[in-house]
Every structure is written in C-alpha cells, then in structure tokens.
C-alpha cells in the first residue's frame, strides 16, 4: 500500500512572525506573563 501524501504544508517555527495579525495576537497573549510572575511571587510570600 502506498504512503499518502500530506495535504498540509510544512510550517516553520516562526511562521507567525510574517503576519501582523498573529504578531499582535502573540504580544497580547504574552502580557499575561508578568501577571503569572506576580501571582507566584505573592504566593511565595504567603500573601
């Protein structure tokens, strides 16, 4: 039996850097990182 070809193209790891919409989305999602560090710091201090 022959192996079927993939219908989806190979994507590089940085494909989203070429599209402005996805760069803005990733920047917006990354703003949660300071919040995570702040919460972890507060929990480490015992509130």
| Mean pLDDT in order along the chain per 10 residues (47 residues) | 73 89 93 93 87
Asked, for residue 1, whether it belongs to a domain, the answer is no
**What's the total number of domains in the chain?**
1
State the pLDDT at residue 7: 80
Range of 37's domain?
15-45
Asked, for residue 10, whether it belongs to a domain, the answer is no
Asked, for residue 34, whether it belongs to a domain, the answer is yes
| 19 three-state secondary structure | coil
CA gap 33, 30 in Å, rounded: 6
State the pLDDT at residue 10: 87
**CA 43, chain centre distance (Å):** 25
């Amino acid at each position: 039996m022959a192996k079927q070809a993939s219908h989806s193209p190979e994507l590089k790891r940085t494909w989203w850097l070429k599209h402005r919409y996805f760069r803005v989305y990733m920047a917006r999602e990354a703003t949660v990182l300071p919040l995570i560090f702040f919460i972890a710091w507060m929990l480490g201090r015992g509130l």
